[in-house]
Amino acid sequence: MILRKIDYHEFKGEPNYWALKDLTLEKINLLVGKNATGKTNAITKITRLGNMLAGLRPQLLHSGDYYAEFADAEDVYKYYLSISRQNVILEKLEINGDEKLTRSDDGTGEIYAEELGCKMKFQLSTNHLVIVLRRDAIQHPYLKKLLDWANGMRMYAFGSSLGKDIGFSTTNINQLVVDPRDPNQVAGLYAKGKQEFAANFEKLVISYMKKIDYDLVTIGVAPNQNRMIPVPSWGHINMIHISERDNSAVLWQHDISQGMFRALSLIVLVTYNILKKLPTTMLIDDIGEGLDFDRSSKLIQLLMDLAETNDIQLIMSTNDRFVMNAVPLEYWQVIQRKGGECQVFNYKNAKQKFDEFEYTGLNNFDFLRTDFLNSNWEPV
């Protein structure tokens, strides 16, 4: 199941009003727009929805209104959620047009019970979601798809360190506990992947790295030998180390270039999800940041290929011209902001303008640079 559409607004009627309108998504998506148009905010709001549905703490945002539509080959889920001051005002779920649950601002509502064949009344705390508290595989099995989407959502800020300076400390690798949602735990996740999938995990990560021109021979995790890093009394600081085909030196993760480590982190994270066969929604903010044009293009092509051949929905954002030129316009989501409202245009709702641009012979980046959506250009 993938996220097909999201509308969101918060603080309506107030000076800090912000809205995201008509974000209609495909399996592969690239959010583009000028600076401060709302790309990162859009990814943040999707991430927050996933975290709330997964029941992560803190569970609820302060205030906001969501309409989210999810779909697979069989079902269409429509989910409505309104929150004010961390209290649920409205929560409703429809599946293929049938209302499965609804609740109001006093916590009362009804939810369909599969085995009973009717709706059950309930009253819950106003600061919890019905979706989270009613995880009953017998009475409410239809919630599983929505929960699977939330549990498989991953958000990566590519412009961040992605765990470059973070290792893990343990005296027993078999007792290692790793949160696969946390990109800062990449060293631990790599160790976990090797533990679960043996040599196949390392082999696959190396093959993906080679596709973006990082020719690695080995990747491992071991206690870091750098004496500049304090060693805790209860164990060692374990970190990733690599060796390259054209360089006999062993590089520890803090010595790897930032761009290379970002790519490695992302590949480790997605490889783990693929081998675990987890349906995954990958949200990547500022994709390609810190990489040269060639490697950035190849990384994006790799991610698109993996999304096409696996159960992955890819939602990326950028304002980098190299990234824009590497991603076909059919995957673009162009965000334009007027005041606090962000409107999204894509090949579906602005098909004529996208088709007209084909006649110009310009690079994809020029679609944004020339503000082509609002131009009066006509083919001759």
290 in any annotated domain: yes
Q: Which helix (H) or strand (E) holds 43?
A: helix 39-54
pTM, whole model, 2 decimals?
0.92
Spatial distance between the Cα atoms of 291 and 182, rounded to a whole number of angstroms: 22
Q: According to the model, what pLDDT value does residue 351 have? A: 93
* Structural domain that includes position 193: 168-259
99 Cα distance to chain centroid: 28
How many other CB atoms are there within 10 angstroms of residue 230's CB atom?
7
Q: According to the model, what pLDDT value does residue 230 have? A: 53
Contacts 24+ apart (CB under 8 A), 74-79: 75/1, 75/145, 76/4, 77/1, 77/145, 77/146, 79/131, 79/146
Q: According to the model, what pLDDT value does residue 380 have? A: 47
Whether residue 43 is found in the same domain as residue 188: no
Of 199, 227, 259, which marks where a domain is finished?
Answer: 259
Whether residue 19 is found in the same domain as residue 120: yes
In the chain, what is the greatest distance between 2 CA atoms, to the nearest angstrom?
75
217 in any annotated domain: yes
247-252 and 76-84 strand pairing? unpaired
Whether residue 7 is found in the same domain as residue 138: yes
Whether residue 27 is found in the same domain as residue 148: yes
The amino acid present at 13, given as its one-letter code, is G
Q: According to the model, what pLDDT value does residue 109 have? A: 96
Whether residue 6 is found in the same domain as residue 111: yes
Q: How many angstroms separate the Cα of 304 from the Cα of each of 164, 224, 300, 330?
A: 24, 34, 6, 13
Spatial distance between the Cα atoms of 374 and 378, rounded to a whole number of angstroms: 12
Q: According to the model, what pLDDT value does residue 234 have? A: 45
Whether residue 19 is found in the same domain as residue 146: yes
Give residue for tokens 């980046």.
365
Q: According to the model, what pLDDT value does residue 175 have? A: 78
Q: 153 forms bridges with which residues in the sheet?
A: 281
Q: According to the model, what pLDDT value does residue 286 have? A: 93
Whether residue 126 is found in the same domain as residue 27: yes
Of 259, 293, 326, which marks where a domain is finished?
Answer: 259
68 in any annotated domain: yes
Whether residue 218 is found in the same domain as residue 286: no
- In this structure, what is the dihedral angle of CA atoms 67, 285, 161, 219, given to the nearest 10 degrees? 100
Instruction: Check residue 56 and report its DSSP letter.
Output: P
264 in any annotated domain: no
Number of independent structural domains in the chain = 2
Contacts 24+ apart (CB under 8 A), 188-196: 188/238, 189/268, 189/269, 189/272, 190/219, 190/221, 190/240, 190/268, 191/221, 191/238, 192/272, 193/268, 193/271, 193/272, 193/275, 194/220, 194/221, 196/275, 196/276
Rounded to the nearest 10 degrees, the angle between the axes of helix 199-211 and helix 293-309 is 130
Q: Give the residue ranges of the chain where pLDDT is below 70.
A: 58, 171, 225-235, 377-380
Whether residue 134 is found in the same domain as residue 179: no
135 in any annotated domain: yes
Of 259, 293, 328, which marks where a domain is finished?
Answer: 259
E strands, 132-183, in order? 153-157, 168-170
236 in any annotated domain: yes
Residues 322 and 231: beta-carbon distance below 8 Å = no
Whether residue 236 is found in the same domain as residue 361: no
Residues 224 and 236: beta-carbon distance below 8 Å = yes
Instruction: Check residue 37 and report its DSSP letter.
Output: S
Q: According to the model, what pLDDT value does residue 56 have? A: 86
312-318 and 18-24 strand pairing? unpaired
Whether residue 228 is found in the same domain as residue 313: no
Q: According to the model, what pLDDT value does residue 352 have? A: 92
Give the residue among 34, 231, 70 at the shortest CA–CA distance from 149.
70
Q: Residue 348 sits in a domain of what CATH number?
A: 3.40.50
Whether residue 284 is found in the same domain as residue 220: no
271 in any annotated domain: no
111 in any annotated domain: yes
